[in-house]
Structures are given as C-alpha cells and as structure tokens.
Structure 1
C-alpha cells in the first residue's frame, strides 16, 4: 500500500480519470474485495459508518494483516453484534439502501449489485425476482461486504472500474439449498458475458463477489494502461499452500485522458425519413452522449441509414432499449471504446444586448475550442431581426473580444 493513498479522496479533489482494476484470477468474494480496498487506503472507519447507515448497530468491521501462500494481505472480518441476525428479501434490502444516506454513488452501486444477485437467484431457482429470499447473500455479512465495497470506492475517488477474468472453482459446496456443484447456479448466471475459468478446486467465487465484479466493472480486460497510485491485496478465509487466496486491486490514473464509452449501432432501411429528427432528439434527451446517422447501401441495393448512439456504460442498456422502441430494427450492435474528450464549460457573451452562450473546450487549462450554442444564436437572430449567419459571426467576434480564443488560458 502506498502512503499517498491513505487519505480518502474527496469527490471534488480526486485526480481525473482515477480508475480501479480488479485482479480476480484466484477467485473473488465480498470480504476479499473489501479487504483489498482497505489495503489500498480506504478508511475502515468511513466504511463502518456507511454500513451502519444501512444496518445500524448490526456488525463490527475489523482488519488484520495476514499471509496467504506467502503473500501479505489484509483480511477484513465482519462480526455480528446481534443474536440470530435475519436473512432478508430483496425488497427489504432495496428499501434499506434507499433510506440510507451513503456518499456519492455508493447507494446506486450497492443497489445495482443486489439487483444483479436477485436476478441471478430468481433465474437459478425459477421464482419471481420480487420474491427472492436471500440466504447466504442476504445475511448481515454480505450486506456489509457490498455496502462496504461501494463506500470504499467513494473513499478512494474511483470513477472507472474494470476487472480481469474470474476464477470460479470446481467440485461441490454445501449451501442453504444443500450440496451444490461449483460454480453454484447463481454464480454461473452472474458470469454470463464475462470471461471465466475454473482456476482450482473448491468455491473460488461467491455470488456476492461475482456480483460485485459484473455489476460494478465496465469491462473484462487485462491490466489497463495507467499510473498506479495504490495497490491493495485482500485475503479470503482459507490459506491454500499452492495458490494465494487473494484479490488484488490497482488504483491509478490513466496514462491518457480517455473514458470508456459504449457505441450502439443499428442498420435501418424502412423508417419514414421524417421521423429521424425525433429519433435522434429522443435518444439525446434520454441521456445519449451523441447520436447520428450515416447513409449506407444494404443488400439488393437498398438505401438505408446506420443509427449510431454513443452512451456512458451505465446508460447503454437503457439506450439500447430505447433504440429498439424508436426504430424498426431486429438487432443492435454493441462495442466498447475509449474516448478522449475535452473538459467543457459555458460562458455567456452578448450580441447587441442579447445573451448567447458559448461552449468552451479546454485541455490542460488552455482553450482548445470555442463554439456558440446554435439554439441561442437562432433565438438571438429572431430577436434582432438579423440573419443567423450574421449573428453567428458576431457571437464569435464577441467571444474573441472577451478573451475566449484558442490557446489562451481559461480564467
């Protein structure tokens, strides 16, 4: 653990592009990932406060330094403070999370994790998702693990999360439903679309651990290009001589100012062209980062368009559903990209007393682009009774006169 990671980052002062990579090559469980984040510098006191906000007075968290197959690691233990702690339904856990005051994105992240578990359990056992009654994953310790991890991510100032392939294990394990094969059904359901391997004997990935990975990580990838700021190693309970029973995390900054985005694409040849402006406007209002059309020629010489939608990873599923609803397509392609984007801000200038907003893009504090907001230009042109091109030119001149020009520092 690096000393510069011991201070929990505040949301306003963390480094841009701060990201986390999870190494689950030896498996993953909730307490292992929590231990790794504590080892990387997340404050256990802050995490305890977050858990207490959801299940007050129910558990106590403690950390110890241990060895696993010769590797140093941090072990976080969750001790119950109440006799016979209850197992809970998904609906109750969702209510507890919604009522808690957790920092930043912790509530959203924790809710997403438990939602993935509920969906996997429902499918594995053939019940409605609202009727899922958690056993192992609904107990106090798993709630502490999930909430603790999500609070720890906020404490470390993590914006982007990715993870490597996950080892699931093999053999059998005894659970609430009796002896079950490894990977257990819920883990296999959660692993859909993720790269996995057996990795060894026994249960190496628990439902809680697998849900934390697939619900929070944006992609399965090898260690990305970054500058490490902290490394954390979290220990599981067992100490297997031939394999360190640990999860590792790397917290750092990207070597280039990029962000992960999702590109959705669909070919459409049978939509009334008059509907396209509304489709693009609707996708933008639903949270798309961008949306556009590209003319193409399909089979048999049919003229058509490719609809492209750029989305933040947490909006991609919603925007894919909106695309299916808005256009007559049988399929939507999905790919993950890295996007470099300028930092953006707005300034207002005046043209004959009429305010017009100007979008300014900066890189390393210097202005890289200056673009008038065209809706404001059109409104100003109507108010002034002038052509739009004239008002556009005068807005650019006003911005330049105000010092908003490429190459200058933005004050």
Structure 2
C-alpha cells in the first residue's frame, strides 16, 4: 500500500461470514495491498529457510481471489510446544508490532488448547497449528496488517490475556474451593507468556459474524465435531453462526480474528481504499470460500457495533474527541475506551483484599484498587474499582462475585489515554531487575524498576527492598534510561 494511504485513520473490516482460516486471511490482506516481500521477511525471521510464500490468482464460486500457498522448504514434524513458538517469537528479528501481535495470537491458541485438554498452558502441545505453515499464516498476517498500517505496538496498560480464556477456568475451579483463593492458581500460566501491554487488538480492525460450519472432521485424536473444541473456546463472547456444512473456520483463523479485531459489526463507515479477497483451499458448492477485507479511512465516529463480551478485546474509542486526537500520532501513545467495574463491600475480611486484587489482575484487569467509603447508616466500607477492556467485563464480574461478598456490580465507560512502553533489564549484584520505560514522541517520559523484580532480588541478596530499588533505578539512569533521553533500541514488549 502506498504511503498516502497509510493515514492515522486507516481501518480494516474483515468479512468472515463465509468462514476463515489463516491462509485465507493472509491472502486477502496481500490482495488488499500488503507487501508479500514484507510478509516473507517477517516469516523468515521466525522460521528461517523453512517456507516460501507463493501468491497466485484463482476463482471461488465465480469470484476472483488471491491464494497464498505456503511451500515447505524443510521437513516439518507438525507438533510443537507453545514454549518453543514463544521462544522463536522472542528471539526473532521482528518489528515489535509484529512480534507482540503474533505472540498474542498464539497465546490465545495455547490458552484455548489448555482448557480443551485440561492441562497447563506451558504443557500445551500444538498439532496442526504448530506446523510451519500455520506459524507462517499467523506471523504473515500480523506482518501484513502492520504493513497496511492498522496495527500499532503495545499502547497502554491494558494487558490482554494472561487470561481472557484462562480467567474463566480460574473462576470455575475457584468456585469449587473457596471464594477468596487466588484465582490464577487454577491455571498454570507462565508470567513470561503474558501478552504485551496493549495486546494485539486494534481499534482500527473490525469483523463480521464468524461462520464456523457443522458436521465433523478428523483430528489428531480422532473424529471431532465441528466447530472443533478449540474454535469454540476461542469464540467465547463472539457472535458466531453455523453458516453451512463442513469446517468453515480453523483454530488459526479464529485466533487471528478474535485476537486482532476490536469489535464485530457490519462494515463501518469508511472511505474505501482497497479490497482484498483471500481464497480458501476448498471449492465449496454453495458459497464462495473466501475471506474479504476492506481497507479504508475512517469516516466520522466509529463503533456502532458491539464488542464481544468475554474475551479480552479492547473496544474502539467512541466517546472522546480530545482523547482520540491525543492518541492519534503513532509516537504519542493511545487512547481507548475501557470500562470500570465498581462494587461497595462492607463485610469482607480485610485480610482478603490483596488476594481479591491479585485475582482480578491475573484474570486480565488492567488495574484494580480499593477506596475507603462510608455507606448508609455510617457503615465503613471499601469501594472496589476494576479497570478493564469492555469484553473482559463479564469474566471479571464473575471474579468479583466469586472472591468478594458483594451482591451487585456497577459498570461504566471511561476513556483512558496511555503512553507506549517497553522493558529493559539492569543488573543489581547479579540479579536481573526489569525497568519499565514509558515513552512519547521518541523520548523517555518515565523509567521505573519493576517492583516484583526488586522484591525478588532483595530476598535473594538478603538486602532491604529500598536499597535494591535505589540500586536498580541508579543502574537504569546510568544506562540512559532517564526522562528526556531517546528511546533505547531493543526494548522488550513484555516484562
């Protein structure tokens, strides 16, 4: 896509009403103008000398479409652990926007598979979605969206999953034990696997209802019904329909849509700039087996659709013109619409509040806190506040009810402006301490040591926390991580 078309108001609508797979989505984006060379370069960074992407035109139900085939250049055993894929993404020479979005897609897949098979996320063993071609589809699609200008690197405090899906498991298991347990303990999620702040969702990407199909297919463990279990897990909170016979939506395709799209709606108001049609492998007798993408410039206020209810999606900003203008620049930060959950609690053992807060954060809340209040008849109480992406609200309400004594939760909309940030490491007497670096317009605004790292280092070194904190921040300043300095190269997207 040419530079004049890469405006700050560029948006993409994904038409997945006929189903979706990774190769269909990738083909549609390349057909819409994303550079196949850029996509190939990103894929090569993760799995070098392994696959070649080949695009060719074809016809589906009389409609011209682009098919992107993934040709294997090396033997593939198909089966890979999530940890291997995560390490490849972390070590690859990728643009951060591509790395963090690819990471988010695969983490969604890992959490869904963990729930389906009743295992921990780190023990997830991918089958088809761990193959080279599926890795190419995910990384390639994220690179294509970045090339079209609709994805930006982590832009705020919202931490989309550790657990949009895992939180639901936490709630179910916690309910069987006690309401005040740490709700993250039920699912073993490696903190290193957390999605980068800001997550993958882009307020510039919307999608239609997803057609999933029906019937049954043969999988690694035998025949399974369609939609397959992992697809259903990925679709929690999303509008779906059967749409026809056969498997119309694959786990890879659904993970991409639900990780990246901010809401489901009819095609939003836009000035259409390009259209892409991506072909699936099969020729369906009763429909065009294609994914369509429409790339355009936003017109007026967006967001007439409804955000999914329960999967960690950041909904589009709809209410604050000033906030939108503040976050419009690629280097300034981001503004987004979030929601605040509130509950008045006057009868909870105060020793339980740390567990409540930790459980909410582990379940995907952007922040959680309490404020002392006085209720009717002079009763002292705590106002529990939880900041969250709109589509995590249902999950977090469950957590509030499971872990506190409240019988009601209020929800209200807010607009939050947040700076971009990344992480660097410093050494304190042989202990690693992360430094969170917030930046804007190419300059550091704030740099602060990660307090959990400081506490861990202090415990290992048998030193006061204050002493280790001072040493870490001094080491950061010595490394140039100070207000007003330029952004250092190599910042990580995750803590």
TM-score between both structures, scaled by the size of structure 2? 0.57
- Structure 1 residues 255 and 82, CA, compared in 2 at 3 Å: closer, same or farther? same
- Structure 1 residues 316 and 84, CA, compared in 2 at 3 Å: closer, same or farther? same
Q: CA deviation at 1:14?
A: 3.2
Partner of 1:385: none
Corresponding residue SS for 2:243: coil
Partner of 1:89: 81
Partner of 1:36: 28
Contact 2:345 2:384 (8 Å CA) reproduced: no
1:177 aligns with 2:221: yes
TM-score between both structures, scaled by the size of structure 1? 0.68
- C-alpha RMSD of matched pairs (Å): 4.2
Q: CA deviation at 1:243?
A: 0.1
Corresponding residue SS for 1:268: strand
Alpha-carbon displacement from aligned partner over 1:83-125 (angstroms, at most 9, x marks no partner): 2445211000000001112224111111111111111111112
Q: CA deviation at 1:250?
A: 1.4
Q: CA deviation at 1:234?
A: 0.5
Corresponding residue SS for 1:51: helix
Q: CA deviation at 1:241?
A: 3.0
Q: CA deviation at 1:255?
A: 1.1
Q: CA deviation at 1:338?
A: 9.8
Corresponding residue SS for 1:218: strand
Q: CA deviation at 1:270?
A: 3.1
Corresponding residue SS for 1:243: coil
Partner of 2:344: 268
Partner of 1:121: 113
Partner of 2:271: 227
Q: CA deviation at 1:7?
A: 2.6
Q: CA deviation at 1:187?
A: 0.7
Aligned counterparts, 1:11-26, within 5 A: 14-26=6-18
Aligned counterparts, 1:279-294, within 5 A: none
Q: CA deviation at 1:332?
A: 5.3
**Post-superposition, which runs of at least 4 consecutive aligned residues in structure 1 deviate over 6 A?**
286-293, 295-298, 300-310, 312-328, 337-341
- Structure 1 residues 263 and 84, CA, compared in 2 at 3 Å: closer, same or farther? closer
1:7 aligns with 2:83: no
Contact 2:17 2:210 (8 Å CA) reproduced: yes
Q: CA deviation at 1:65?
A: 0.8
Q: Which runs of 5+ in 1 are unaligned?
A: 1-5, 273-282, 342-411
Q: CA deviation at 1:141?
A: 0.4
Corresponding residue SS for 2:146: helix
1:213 aligns with 2:257: yes
Alpha-carbon displacement from aligned partner over 1:338-360 (angstroms, at most 9, x marks no partner): 9699xxxxxxxxxxxxxxxxxxx
Contact 2:14 2:292 (8 Å CA) reproduced: yes
Q: Which runs of 5+ in 2 are unaligned?
A: 152-202, 303-315, 318-336, 349-359, 418-495
Q: Which deviates more from structure 2 when the two are superposed, residues 303-312 or residues 128-137?
A: 303-312
Q: Matches of 1:33 and 1:41 in 2, distance apart? A: 13
Q: When the two structures are aligned, how many residues end up with a matched partner? A: 326
